[in-house]
A = this chain, B = another copy of it.
Amino acid sequence: MNVGFIGLGAMGAAMAANLLKAGHTVTVWNRSPEPAAALAAQGALVAERPADAAQGEAVLSMLANDQAVRAVILDGGVLEAMPSGAVHVNHATISVALAKELVAVHAQHGVGYVAAPVFGRPDVAAAGTLNILAAGEAASIEQVRALLEAMGRRVWSLGEAPERANVAKIAGNFMLAAAIESMAEASALTRAHGIEAADFLEVMTSTLFAAPAYQGYARLIAERRFKPAGFTLPLGYKDVSLALAAGEAARVPLPFAGVLRDSLLEALATGDPDRDWSALSQVAARRANLPDD
Contacts and interface: CB of A to CB of B under 8 A. Distances in A.
Contact of A211 (B214, B249, B263): B214
A1 interface: no
Interface string A162-205: 01100110111011101101110111111011110001100110
B252 A288 contact: yes
A287 B193 contact: no
Given A258-B259, A259-B258, A289-B270, A168 B203 contact: yes
Contacts of A253: 261-263, 265-266, 269, 284, 287-288
A167 B182 contact: no
Given A182-B179, A256-B259, A190 B213 contact: no
Given A179-B179, A208-B212, A265 B252 contact: yes
Interface size of A as a range: 35 or more
Given A131-B203, A203-B133, A208-B176, A252 B188 contact: yes
**3 pairs of A and B residues whose beta carbons are closest in the complex:** A258-B258, A211-B211, A192-B250
29 contacts: A96-B193, A131-B203, A154-B207, A161-B194, A167-B193, A168-B200, A171-B187, A172-B203, A174-B189, A175-B182, A175-B204, A178-B181, A178-B185, A185-B252, A185-B255, A188-B252, A188-B254, A189-B246, A193-B250, A208-B211, A210-B212, A251-B269, A251-B289, A253-B261, A254-B262, A255-B263, A256-B256, A258-B258, A266-B288
